Structure 1
């Protein structure tokens, strides 16, 4: 017979079968999905679409919370400091890695997060306002060369994916243009449409509404070949001969030290949600594609991206702030 003292000690150590408290299946309550940019941009569009499918699949609400600022660093920091229990997640683009190349961040993009799943990939696109004198990509390059230092481009802060893509374009084409920082890409696109800045290198997911409304003009894609969804839009390479190929990815992250079993569970749920027709339609509308990765493969990709963009910042002469 086990006396009361032995029973209590064993229970505290979890030594007796059946005495340890079982953890409830995830999710047993609402999940917070932090999107570290204002509403309207690609992070918000795709993050909301994925959250809706996850909520419908799992029977718990996935509440999108927009925490914009500092190129996504404010919202990302909030998630990094949260409990690794699966109830606070981050939906963020490759800005997570580009930020690290130019900002002294309160978190480490590799050590302070658990990469769970890659949610989508897409090529970048080059856009100008409807009243821009640049009717083609070749026009834009010519004007930029004729007016060195005069053209202004927008992005969501110096660590934003759009900012880095434009820096790549500047290096590839030997252009001198001035950066203008915004809280989010939506504000930059609005200013480009109004003629307050000259161009935005962005994603179709972010800019589609303004393009379809005739407010922004889509000049070219930064893909290796024409996108079947935009067959009339040339690539930058095709239009100018400039070797400019770059894209963006989006993914879901948790704070560091998320248990591996829970990481695998959430990864599987996200992969199921991404395969649903409703999410596929959002990807299609945004010029994006599904590109599922296992957690380990996604983590390796994130590490390689930090190295890549740090090198781009060094070559572009962008100082660490």
Structure 2
């Protein structure tokens, strides 16, 4: 059997530099222990649901489990910081639909949203949904708007936390519709939907993933999907323009990120596994979470550029609503 020294000699004799030999070896990177996928929200929210769907198959492809770790708090900042500070070795990843919203609303983010991460994949896109507790006397969006305008400040709107995409959707709804509602910020999409079901909050703009079961089952009343057109996951629910709210259009997406400095061959292996998993689970993502994969985010640069563009848009929405970083 050739020794490492003889293999290196043969490679050099064939014209390969040591760096090329390392690159060939690294290109076949495979994890040797479980990978943790940090979800910076409580269980039951959209990131948790989507993360668990894609993690299982990605782990099978990689040959090691991809384990979900919920690290809720501060509108995703706590979990994202865990990943930003983790060793860049491929064993700690982040899935966070709120990643581009945080800089617009948190004054002292303890990491750089762009420069401290590298893109792995985008698990899909999904619009937010305007919903109401069934006890609220509003059967459609226009009745809700009339009710809110007649009772300024009386009703509570549940969000998934300050800086979450749900918060941005809520601000867009409040400012575009010129209504006064009280925001109540919960520690993730799951708790916010639970508050809606319990009547602690009367309306919300949850992600489709965290609310689709309740809207289909009647626990929540869907009034509009915040999209340009109706979506297959909720075909009977009007789009925002159909509901008379053409400016209230917003979708979330699910970037999977690794710490900056993660070697390119490791990122490539992770990216390939997650993209394969996302495609294999496309029907399941749509059925369970109302999430649809989309082409065009196959490279780290494409993923990061999407986040950068979203940061600009979300900041514009929040500034127009009078929201300043705190």
TM-score (norm 1): 0.89
Hey, what's the Cα distance between the residues in 2 that align with 1:154 and 1:169?
A: 13
- Given that 1:72 and 1:96 are in contact with CA atoms closer than 8 Å, whether structure 2 keeps it comes out as yes
Q: Tell me: CA distance 1:263–1:132, structure 2 relative to 1, closer, same or farther (3 Å).
A: same
Q: Tell me: CA distance 1:318–1:134, structure 2 relative to 1, closer, same or farther (3 Å).
A: same
Deviation at residue 68 of structure 1 after TM alignment:
0.8
Name whichever of 150-159 and 34-43 sits farther off: 150-159
Query: What SS is found at the alignment partner of 1:74?
Result: helix
- Given that 1:46 and 1:283 are in contact with CA atoms closer than 8 Å, whether structure 2 keeps it comes out as no
Deviation at residue 259 of structure 1 after TM alignment:
2.2
- Tell whether 2:116 aligns with 1:121: no
1:27 counterpart residue number:
31
- Given that 1:125 and 1:219 are in contact with CA atoms closer than 8 Å, whether structure 2 keeps it comes out as yes
Deviations 1:46-90 (A, max 9, x none): 101111011112211111111111111111110000011111000
Q: Tell me: CA distance 1:214–1:241, structure 2 relative to 1, closer, same or farther (3 Å).
A: closer
1:98 counterpart residue number:
101
- Tell whether 2:303 aligns with 1:305: no
1:71-150 alignment runs, 5 A limit: 71-93=75-97, 95-103=98-106, 104-150=108-154
- Tell whether 2:220 aligns with 1:209: no
Q: Tell me: CA distance 1:243–1:315, structure 2 relative to 1, closer, same or farther (3 Å).
A: closer
1:315 counterpart residue number:
320
Deviation at residue 283 of structure 1 after TM alignment:
2.7
Where has structure 1 moved over 3 Å in runs of 4 or more? 15-24
1:171-210 alignment runs, 5 A limit: 171-210=175-214
- Given that 1:120 and 1:283 are in contact with CA atoms closer than 8 Å, whether structure 2 keeps it comes out as no
Q: Tell me: CA distance 1:49–1:228, structure 2 relative to 1, closer, same or farther (3 Å).
A: closer
Q: Could you list the runs of 5+ residues in structure 2 that have no partner in the other structure?
A: 1-16
Deviation at residue 232 of structure 1 after TM alignment:
1.3
1:4 counterpart residue number:
none
Q: Matched residue pairs, number?
A: 307
- Given that 2:29 and 2:266 are in contact with CA atoms closer than 8 Å, whether structure 1 keeps it comes out as no
Q: Tell me: CA distance 1:16–1:37, structure 2 relative to 1, closer, same or farther (3 Å).
A: closer
Q: How big is the alpha-carbon RMSD for the aligned residues of Structure 1 and Structure 2?
A: 2.2
Deviation at residue 285 of structure 1 after TM alignment:
2.5
Hey, what's the Cα distance between the residues in 2 that align with 1:217 and 1:302?
A: 31
- Tell whether 2:171 aligns with 1:167: yes
Query: What SS is found at the alignment partner of 1:238?
Result: coil
Q: Tell me: CA distance 1:273–1:146, structure 2 relative to 1, closer, same or farther (3 Å).
A: same
1:296 counterpart residue number:
301
